[in-house]
Structure 1
Amino acid sequence: MKVPKKSGPKKDESQKKRTSDKKIKISKKSVQKVEDAEEIKHEVVALEPESKGVTNKNDKSDKKKKNKMSKKKTANKVEEELHELVSALELESNGPTDKEEEDSDVEDSDFNPAFEESDTDGEDSDFHSAVEESDSSEDEVPSRNTIGDVPLVWYKDEAHIGYDVKGRKIIKPSVINKLEELVNRADASKNKLILHDEYNGEDVEITKKDRKLIQRFLKGKTPHAEVDPYPDYVDYVEHHAKHPLSNAPEPKRRFIQSKWENKEVLRLVRAIRNGHITFEKPKEEKRVYSLWEPDSGPTEKRLGLNYIPPPKPKLPGHEESYNPSLEYIPTQEEISGYEIMYEEDRPKYIPRRYESLRKVPAYENAVKDTFDRCLDLYLCPRTRKKRINIDPESLKPKLPSRKDLKPYPTTCFLEYKGHSDAVTSIAVQVSGQWLASGSKDGTVRIWEVETGRCLKMWDVGEAVHCVAWNPNPQLPILAISAGQDVLVLNTGLGNAEEQQRIKELVHVDAPSAIDNSDKSTPIVSWLQHDKHEGIRLKHIKMVTSVEWHRKGDYFSIVMPADILLVLSN
């Protein structure tokens, strides 16, 4: 069904071209009229003083008066035409009126068909409205006007059009005369369309490509001509082909064995296991040895044999001759020199001379040489193994340079000399002023850390295993483990009050022992050590370590039998 469709604002490209050509012709004629009017105006201005002078004179003829009057009439007529031309130019720049649009529509109907086939049934208006309204942010072109969204009518009579960020006036751009604008448009190329943007104050050029794009938008088509929104439908299904009566998927029973097939398979398996069904073994073909074929092929010649042949025995030489020449027979001195040589350097056979072969005795080392030959064949490698020759030095880890390990002590600052045997334990007092050391020579010494002076020395009679200071700085007591004894000694350090308190702590009135009902002998016994002014704790086994509590009220010891005792002061 064909629906009438007004061409209205939707003009074809041919119609646009014809209208643009008409406008260009009108503009050229108007420009020519303007130029003629300007020339006549200049002539009238030049003749005005002459006409004033002529009216005062009565001597001139009527013919001259008529000429002057006709020139004035023509000047007035030119001015009227000029005013009409200016008004026509204003109408042309502002756009055609409704009446002119209707006339243009009628004129366009002569060149373009007024009725077109509509692809959509009654939905053309809705489609165009959807095309014109777009929510895409890409269609918005940011304006270069910095005064904001303010109507320019407010500044119509002002010399400026607003204020910038700093409060300064924005001067209006220079306005081009309508006559100059018309001349510029006439001089421009026919393919250009220039519109004036009053808001941004600039002329916008619309190219031929943009005009085509706008025309396609107005007609409700896609922006690009190469895109076909409604391609021809291609039916890929062949309706006249042969199809099965049912397209149901294959059932599971098509892919698994039936009940009777399963029973037959089980029967055959059992018959094979029981030996009722046997299979003939394939006959091995006899291998025929090729007598004339070479032992090694081209690959074996290139890569070598895969096996290593056994070492060949040494062939007999002239030294085993029974009747050699006299110069080959060694003298007695040479024979005695052979006996001095090492066995591996000594010749295996010393030549001798016999008159006949019947007098040659049996070989003495025949059994030994046969045994050595068997060892050579037994120990000879039969296959080739690839081995990598690695330098053993490269397997060692590379030690860093000593310069890279600095800073570390390189100079001996202080040396404490006095022990005659190895030092087994050292301990520093809490204040850091005194150092205690124990040695295998059975002595315990107290040193001054800063000077290295030996302050005190005790001889405990056995190798010292451990020395430990009391962590309480007010009780400078030293615990020593030597053999099966633990000695708690007064070092004599501190003031008089501390010494008085220490003497009371290390004093034991009578020997006491820890109750031990399981064993006959006690585990530890407390005794007064008068020689070294302290307490002696005697244990049943060797004591290896002594550790104090951080408050200095208790200390613990360790014995090899994994017995841990916590003793109280």
Structure 2
Amino acid sequence: MRLWNELRYFTCWISHQARPCTPSTKPGPVLHPPGQALYSTHQARPCTPPTRPCTPPTRPCTPPTRPGPVLHPPGQALYSTHQALYSTHQARPGSVLHPPYRPKPHLDIRNTVGNIPMEWYQDYPHIGYNLDGKKIFKPIRNKDELDEFLDKMENPDYWRTVHDKTTASDIRLSDEQVDLVHRLQKGQFGDINFNEYEPSVDFFTNEVMIHPVTNRPQDKRSFIPSLIEKEKVSKLVHAIKMGWIKPRKPKETTPQYYDLWAKEDPNAILGRHKMHVPAPKMRLPGHEESYNPPPEYLLTEEERMAWEQQDAEDRKLPFLPQKHSCLRAVPAFSRFIHERFERCLDLYLCPRQRKMRVNVNPEDLIPKLPKPKDLQPFPTTMSLVYIGHTSLVRSISASPTGQWLVSGSDDCTVRFWEVNTGRCMKTLEVGGAVKSVVWNPNQAVCLVAVCFESTVLLLNPALGDRLVVSSTDQLITSYEPPEEDKEQAVTWALSEGPEHDNGHRLTLTHPKAVKQVVWHGKGDYLASVMPDNSSNLQVLIHQVSKRRTQNPFRKNKGLVQCVSFHPLRPYFFVATQRYVRVYNLIKQELTKKLMTNCKWISSMAIHPGGDNLICGSYDCRLAWFDLDLSTKPYKMLRHHKKALRGVAYHKHYPLFASGADDGSVIICHGMVYNDLLQNPLIVPVKVLKGHQITHDLGVLDVTFHPTQPWVFSSGADATIRLFT
């Protein structure tokens, strides 16, 4: 419309050959050198009235809009384009006059140079141009630090004053602007009336509405193929035919090389973090550094003189403990600088050790053991109870064939039982409480060793094969005494008369009370234990065929608790209160000394293979030793709650058992492999209960059946129980 109005005015001027007052067009920016005066090119020029009045425009001239900021180099002015440019001719009928354009306050920018670096004007006295095209001069005097300080102290609005670089003036922020800044700093919206938590209406829910949300009919173009897409496809097809568009070639996979030692570089960030070794912490002060230490920490005069005569390196404490009545009386620390200096030397000169932290999964620490049902057979059920004794049954032993069982009790009797039926076949009375009974492991000999008080009695129960019974009697009666009798520590006596009829064959009278007897694997040697620290005769070895007794030790180290023979080699095991010593009987020397880590050993058993050993103790521990591995326990089991009284190995199955005063027998699976590189497998499989605790005593002895996976146990309740 504006151009149309100008054309109409121009036509009027041509027809009347006059110069009408045509509204001026919007001028563009004119560049001037710095300092040049700026004159308006839009001044009103007198115009000659036309001879024929021209028709005024139906629509008045719209005032020009405000131009945006324009970038100018230094020293160039900008003609104002916001002057009201209206014609000076008289208003014609129908013409409308518009008021001059007034810019909005929030868009009022005094400096019109635009968004340019203000360093361009640092060599000029002015800083830009205002809306009228006049220079904006810099302040005569810039504020220095003193002015800033005074302004900060005296001006109450200093905190809300900001410096405008475009006009080189200070602007005071209004309350609305300050609130806007605070809201933006808090992460809030700038408009205070904006509600960010408006209630939302969920139109599309699981509830089906009767009427649709929008029911606008579909457009016609939705049923017609798109022409624009057709043109695009045609262009793409033409470009492919011409070879302008080619398919993407697969990228060649080049090997990616990386620096293997990048993380090890001490100058790199990762290297510095990885190689960082923290400084060791200082030792915390103890009681001796207190201002009022206990009396035992204070040095006497003799200790003080000895401390002063020692060198600084040999002193246990670098200072003398002192006692003060109160904290106010404590003087200044005279060694403060010296102590700090030594700490700096330690940090600077002493090498640091980096402790490698190992991240271990807690589940990996728990050994993965097989299930007990996969380790059968082992005893699980109590099958028989052998009743007949009237007091504690301290010891039991099974025959090599597994048909008979012998037991000794505090009621001064020895009973022989049939295993399968529980029938008591024979009862023999002895002269005291029976401490130990052992059946001879040799199947060709029918002998049972019984110890009570200071006597060891060899019995022939006359059970089983009659040929074995008669051959045993012939072996004992065929002894011929040597020509020269040597003095022995034990008196050998052959039983005769009624004692012989009851089964007594030999009687060995010891100088002191006997606690334990044990047979050698071949059945000819017998060892007895007499625990007494005041005597060297604690362990004696007897040979039945020659009726000879010898003392293998000149001096016993400690109180002997129990002994045992190695099943295959000429080794002899002697258990004292805390140690187990292994002796070589041929070389007559000490081979090993096993440290059980127990307070008091109660029992001991040797594995049939001879390379493993278990020890029970009165402090509720069972120690498994691997003789080929170490002199310390391979496993320490603490399954029982009270003192262990007996332990035993099975001769053929990988089983071992332990009985304790808590009235329970624990069966464990102990597999020993032929591969020396593989450790034994120890798995507890069953806890057998049945004995009643009497006088704080439970199970006193356990032994396995020689051929079946059965276990016998004797207790303080005067019963013997068979678990199968």
Instruction: State the TM-score, normalized to the length of structure 1.
Output: 0.28
Determine which structure has greater relative contact order: mean sequence separation of CA pairs < 8 Å that are 6+ residues apart, divided by chain length.
2
Higher helix share: 1
Instruction: State the TM-score, normalized to the length of structure 2.
Output: 0.23
Higher strand share: 2
